[in-house]
Amino acid sequence: MANQPTGENCKELQAALDIISGKWKPIILFHLMENETLRFSELQRAIPEITKKMLTSQLRELEYNNIIDRKVYQQVPPKVEYSMSDYGHGLKPLLVSMRTWGFNHLEHLENLYGEDNEKVMEN
Amino acid sequence: MANQPTGENCKELQAALDIISGKWKPIILFHLMENETLRFSELQRAIPEITKKMLTSQLRELEYNNIIDRKVYQQVPPKVEYSMSDYGHGLKPLLVSMRTWGFNHLEHLENLYGEDNEKVMEN
DNA sequence: CTGTATCCCCTTTGATACTG
DNA sequence: CAGTATCAAAGGGGATACAG
């Protein structure tokens, strides 16, 4: 997220990529798009392999970018709910377009390199 | 590009992201979208900060994914031309959508956090 | 001119323990 | 429950030298 030279032309594209790229952001976004609101622990259960640290940091980035809302209930034990923000819903069409293109691309790669080929591409 | 858990749901989205994310791929793609064909050295001049190693590896990935074509002229000194493939042109609308969203998002961030704020976000 | 081959660094991600 | 703190590992990216 720091050093992107990208010659003045595509800093906008990079801005978009910063939101949705990363190992966990896509799946977090999909869960929040499908679920209205989710608690921290519900997200953890939905994405079992993620650590609290990563879940926290990715949620914080999305919140900073106003894609999601974070609602804290002042109670013990704590309860925090995450949901897409109004603004964040504007990201949905883009995500859907990307998923569609990606779906077709995976098919395209199969046609090129065969059925059960995992992307090997060593070096 | 390796370990993406992404729970079966958004491997398609990840597939799309794999193509266009990375420090150099967006700018490489934009240059190739604007120029029909470019030689290796022309790309280097267009993106002065990139090293040969990175330029080579990113071009190879794009070629592997059939986004760009690589044409080698068997001559001395060597001459290699890169261009978007027919298939690769199908990526253009998506890239444009992302740039548009990113443009608006940068504006959105300005409204939220002020004019000359670089994204600070420590921690 | 168009690359490869090494070696090094830095950022991102992960494991684990601790806290209000 | 919802995090933070600390330390370690991994992978992407960079500097430089060499090669066909």
- Give the distance, in angstroms, between the CA of residue A17 and the centroid of all CA atoms in the same chain: 10
> CB under 7 Å from any atom of strand D: which residues?
A 3, 39-42, 52-53, 56, 59, 70, 77-81; B 1-3, 22-24, 49-54, 77-78, 123
Nearest CA among B28, B83, B13 for reference residue A17? B13
Predicted confidence (pLDDT) per residue in A27-61, tens digit: 999 999 999 999 999 999 999 999 999 999 999 99
Please give the average per-residue pLDDT across B2-10, as a whole number: 55
Predicted confidence (pLDDT) per residue in B27-86, tens digit: 999 999 999 999 999 999 999 999 999 999 999 999 999 999 999 999 999 999 999 999
**Residue pairs spanning A and B at CB distance below 8 A:** 132
Local confidence pLDDT in tens for the 123 residues of chain A: 445 554 556 899 999 999 999 999 999 999 999 999 999 999 999 999 999 999 999 999 999 999 999 999 999 999 999 999 999 999 999 999 999 999 999 999 999 998 755 545 444
Residue B97 has pLDDT above 60, yes or no: yes
Nearest beta carbon to residue B16 from set A66, A101, A112: A101
How far is the alpha carbon of B41 from chain A, nearest alpha carbon, in Å?
17
Nearest CA among A15, A5, A14, A8 for reference residue A65? A15
pTM: 0.90
Mean pLDDT of chain B: 90
Task: For residue B14, list chain A residues with Cβ-Cβ distance below 8 A.
Answer: 26, 102
Rounded distance between C-alpha atoms, residue B123 and residue A102, angstroms:
32
pLDDT value at residue A104? 97
Between chains, do B101 and A109 touch, taking CB under 8 Å as contact?
no
CA distances in angstroms from B106 to A43, A46, B109, listed in the order given: 28, 31, 5
pLDDT value at residue B9? 61
Q: CA(B94)–C1'(C18) in Å?
A: 45
Task: Label the pairing between strands B38-39 and A79-84.
Answer: unpaired
pLDDT value at residue A117? 55
Side-chain half-sphere of A83: how many Cα atoms within 13 Å? Answer: 8
Rounded distance between C-alpha atoms, residue A76 and residue A93, angstroms:
38
Rounded distance between C-alpha atoms, residue B82 and residue B41, angstroms:
11
**Burial letters for A57-87: b for 16+ Cβ neighbours within 10 Å, e otherwise?**
ebbebbeebbbbbeeeeeeeeeeeebbbbeb
**Burial letters for B32-41: b for 16+ Cβ neighbours within 10 Å, e otherwise?**
bbeeeebebe
pLDDT value at residue A9? 61
Could you give the percent of chain B with pLDDT greater than 70? Answer: 86
Q: Which helix or strand (DSSP H or E) is residue A38 part of?
A: strand A38-39
> Cα dihedral sign for A66, B2, B123, B117?
negative
Q: Write down the residue that tokens 């013990």 correspond to.
A: A76
pLDDT band at B118 (very low <50, low <70, confident <90, very high): low
